[in-house]
Amino acid sequence: MSEAGERVLSYETFNVRTDVFHHDSGAYRWRETTGRMGIAPAVFAPEEALAAFEDAGTPRIGFAVARPVADGIEYRVPSPLSVGWRLLGAKIRPGDAVGLAAALGGALRGLHRKPVPPGYAEVPRRLRELSDWAWSGLGTRDASFLHTAVAERLGTARWKIVLDWCAELVGRRACLCHGAVTLGHLVPDEELSRGWLLTGPDIGASGPEVDVGKFLAEIPAYTEITGMMERGALDLGEIARAFLDGYGDGVDRDRTGRAATVMYLSGLRHVAAHLGWRELINARIDRLADMIDGAGRSLVAAGEPLC
């Protein structure tokens, strides 16, 4: 066995390769290295910011902060599979994850109360990349084609709304943000008693609605993907509700709706840029238009109530 341990899982997108190793100690090392884009993953944040995430951990949720290795970054967690993968693989049901979802909401609320380190003004990576793409239309793989398709489907008025909402989030510096809060980044122990949120490359400063909105924006994808499987679609509404219940008040409903819509579009861009065009994107663009018209209220409603 190598020093890293036995490789138990590997997968790759256009931008990053992930290898999961099982170490003699019993821990798992998730190592992210250069994908076909040739850009090594990295964490660009001062230690003070990273320490704030580590300090924000709770008895049930820890922030697994990435650390640099020779060819990328690495996380140390107790499991090879995230909550998201366990749901998609039918290893757990949505009801099994509600406790962790509530605990995750509470941990994020604690993080968002921590002060932004002086001088730290980094925009969360996925939000920054979305903003750059929205204004320029440029990107890897099929991102440029997606830009054209989205702009044509939305029309000028809706597209301007998206740009305004995105600019609003880019200009916010209210708190530290994880930037990519998803079930795919939440790694539980085998008993689902604790979870660790993979943290590092996407962090920055914006408003709390970025993290809350990102979590809500990912929920429809699980229903959509499982709906194409033989077992039928999963309803993750109880997970969304538990997450928001755990978070509590302190995040504005309207801001969250707008942020969730922006982060939903960010997810589309991420797929097109790193995996390429997928037929399901067409339906998601139609759904995006409806979300804009409703200011994201449908996404927020999945986890009622907010303040």
Structure confidence by residue, pLDDT tens digits, 265-302: 999 999 999 888 988 899 999 999 999 999 999 898 76
CA dihedral 281, 288, 299, 276 (to 10 degrees): 30
In the predicted model, what is the mean pLDDT of the chain?
92
Start-to-end C-alpha separation, the chain: 52
Percent over 70 (pLDDT), the chain: 95
Domain assignments of the chain as residue spans, ordered by start: 79-301
Q: What is the CATH architecture assignment of 79-301?
A: Alpha-Beta Complex (3.90)
Q: What is the CA radius of gyration of the chain?
A: 18
Burial bucket for residue 218 (CB in 10 Å: 0-12, 13-18, 19+): buried
pTM above 0.85, yes or no: yes
Chain centroid offset of residue 11 CA: 18
What amino acid occupies position 21? Answer: F
Strand 28-34 to 16-22 pairing: antiparallel
- Residue 231 pLDDT level (bands cut at 50, 70, 90): confident
Which is more confidently placed, 176 or 275?
A: 176
Q: What is the mean pLDDT of residues 164-182?
A: 96
Q: What is the mean pLDDT of residues 245-268?
A: 94
In angstroms, the CA 165 to CA 162 distance is 5
H-type alpha helices, the chain: 47-55, 83-88, 98-112, 125-136, 143-170, 208-227, 237-247, 253-274, 280-293, 297-301
Q: Per-residue pLDDT for 35 more than 90? A: no
Residue 306 confidence (pLDDT) above 70: no
CA 98 from chain centre, in angstroms, equals 18
In the predicted structure, residue 1 carries a pLDDT above the cut 50: no
